[in-house]
Amino acid sequence: MVKLLIDRNELQHALGVGKSTVFKLIKRGDLKPVNIGRDLRFRVADVEAMIAAKTAA
């Protein structure tokens, strides 16, 4: 089964960034988290789209 959502730690590892950078990406609107209870998750498709947009610019 393909993963649709990843948590903050997985996102940090995938992007090679720290916790504060993840929250900056959220604040700037580059990434929109999905709230599941008290946990933040991120759509893999949104992360891929953000990377594509950043590398195309």
* pLDDT tens-digit map of 1-44: 889 999 999 999 999 999 999 999 999 999 999 999 999 999 99
> What domain range includes position 41?
5-56
The edge-to-edge listing of strands for the beta sheet with 39-43 is 5-7, 39-43, 34-36
Q: How many domains does the chain have?
A: 1
pLDDT-derived band of residue 56, with 50, 70 and 90 as boundaries?
confident
Quick one: pLDDT at residue 34?
Answer: 97
Question: In angstroms, rounded to a whole number, what is the distance separating the alpha carbons of residues 42 and 49?
Answer: 12
**How much is the pLDDT for 57?**
65
| CA 46 to each of CA 1, 28: distance values in angstroms, whole numbers, following the listed order | 18, 14
In this prediction the pTM is 0.88
